[in-house]
């Protein structure tokens, strides 16, 4: 199989109507914070047990087409000895890998950040492929204030995202491009729209410069939403503004847009996705790539106890099913109670 046909095959498997991605790629510090909320120590065995619980959930592949894993997880096995990427693939879930090495302050740009990890990326991707990964993810972060992000941050992060995407495609790995405009702050939804538009314009200019094949990538943006310390916009307003900014910036050649939940509650993230999919027909498949918005309910149910695995898996399956309905514009808030 040629690299192009292999990339196309992976994209086709990931972009299926009514399916989305499970983001289970939390770094060490992030998963430690999540575990702290349930009183569980973040050691390798608990992390393995948690990700085993997620990927062994019977029926998950009906709603989830891909899973983003952390490097540690790529090399771990289930309680029955099956490598976790293989466990995902057995349910028709494509295994992927987070490849960036986190963010650091951007020099000469106070308050702005840049993502690192390009050095040695091609070699790392070759190893990840041998472990079963078929796609990758790289996250760039944009802080909002009246003056941030600055031009330097917008351009530097776009160039890094495009470099990463080009290296992935060369290696036969589908890149997920994630430019996350953060919710943190008291900015209005109008300011969120303005920054998101500037960021996405620059990202696609950079992707073009680096000759990235748009048909063989996915975009993972945040929704256009007011800052967490500002007044909330209506579900319909978030949906309209987000779709409008995508129409202005994202070429129709991109096969799928998989939103991050970015600090929204599980219910908000599902309702916003549903409202977008109720709008007029769009050129891209609009779906989800949620971490906390899928994992929070099952995590609270699990509490690190083997006796709670079944109830936690039921909670995960419920959220996956509701988000599947949202991908098809068929979610109704009453489902939260009916299926509770």
Catalytic one among 220, 296, 318, 325? 220
Active site residue 178: yes
**Residue 251 and residue 217: Cα distance in Å, rounded?**
12
Q: Are the beta carbons of 256 and 285 closer than 8 angstroms?
A: yes
pLDDT in tens, 7-64: 999 999 999 999 999 999 999 999 999 999 999 999 999 999 999 999 999 999 999 9
Catalytic one among 178, 180, 296, 325? 178
Token duo for residue 206: 């950079």
Which CATH entry fits the domain spanning 3-338: 3.30.450.20, 3.20.20.70, 2.40.50.100, 3.40.630.40? Answer: 3.20.20.70
Q: Concatenated DSSP letters for 179-194? A: EEE---SS--HHHHHH
The three-state secondary structure class of 117 is coil
- Backbone region of residue 184 per phi and psi (left: phi > 0; alpha: psi in -120 to 50; beta: other values): beta
What is the pLDDT at residue 80?
A: 93
**Residue 102 and residue 143: Cα distance in Å, rounded?**
15
Token duo for residue 127: 């190893």
pLDDT in tens, 137-173: 999 999 999 999 999 999 999 999 999 999 999 999 9
pLDDT at 237 over 70: yes
pLDDT in tens, 72-112: 999 999 999 999 999 999 999 999 999 999 999 999 999 99
Question: 94-98 and 103-105 as β-strands: parallel, antiparallel, unpaired?
Answer: unpaired
> Angle CA(142)–CA(194)–CA(99) in degrees, nearest 5?
30
Active site residue 220: yes
SS (H, E, C) 58-115: CCHHHCEEEEEECHHHHCCECCCCCEHHHHHHCCCCEEEEECCCCEEECCCCCCCEEE
pLDDT in tens, 108-140: 999 999 999 999 999 999 999 999 999 999 999
Domain-wise residue ranges, the chain: 3-338
Nearest CA-CA partner of 157 in 146, 174, 173, 142: 142
Confidence of residue 2 (pLDDT cuts 50, 70, 90): confident
What is the pLDDT at residue 231?
A: 76
């Amino acid at each position: 199989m040629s690299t192009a046909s292999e990339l196309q095959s992976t994209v086709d498997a990931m972009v299926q109507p009514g399916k989305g991605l499970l983001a289970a790629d939390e770094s060490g510090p992030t998963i430690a914070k999540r575990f702290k909320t349930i009183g569980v120590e973040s050691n390798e065995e608990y992390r393995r047990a948690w990700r085993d619980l997620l990927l062994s959930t019977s029926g998950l592949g009906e709603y989830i087409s891909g899973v983003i894993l952390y490097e540690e997880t790529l090399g771990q096995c289930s309680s029955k000895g099956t490598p976790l990427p293989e466990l995902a693939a057995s349910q028709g879930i494509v295994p992927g890998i987070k490849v960036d090495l986190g963010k650091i302050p951007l020099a000469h740009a106070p308050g702005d950040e840049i993502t690192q990890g390009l050095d040695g990326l091609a070699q790392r991707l070759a190893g990840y492929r041998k472990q079963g990964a078929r796609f990758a993810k790289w996250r760039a972060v944009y802080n909002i204030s009246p003056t941030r992000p600055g031009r330097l941050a917008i351009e530097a992060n776009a160039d890094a995202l495009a470099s990463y995407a080009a290296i992935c495609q060369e290696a036969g790995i589908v890149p997920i491009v994630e430019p996350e405009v953060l919710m943190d702050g008291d900015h209005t939804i109008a300011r969120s729209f303005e920054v998101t538009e500037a960021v996405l314009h620059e990202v696609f200019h950079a992707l073009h410069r680096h000759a990235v094949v748009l048909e063989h990538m996915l975009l993972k943006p945040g929704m256009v939403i007011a800052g967490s310390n500002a007044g909330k916009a209506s579900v319909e307003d978030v949906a309209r503004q987000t779709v409008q900014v995508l129409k202005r910036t994202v070429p129709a050649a991109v096969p799928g847009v998989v939103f991050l939940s970015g600090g929204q509650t599980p219910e908000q993230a599902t309702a916003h996705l549903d409202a977008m999919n109720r709008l007029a027909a769009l050129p891209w498949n609009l779906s989800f790539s949620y971490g906390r918005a899928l994992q929070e309910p099952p995590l609270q149910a699990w509490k690190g106890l083997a006796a709670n695995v079944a109830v936690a898996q039921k909670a995960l399956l419920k959220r996956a099913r509701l988000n599947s309905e949202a991908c098809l514009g068929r979610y109704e808030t009453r489902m939260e109670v009916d299926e509770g």
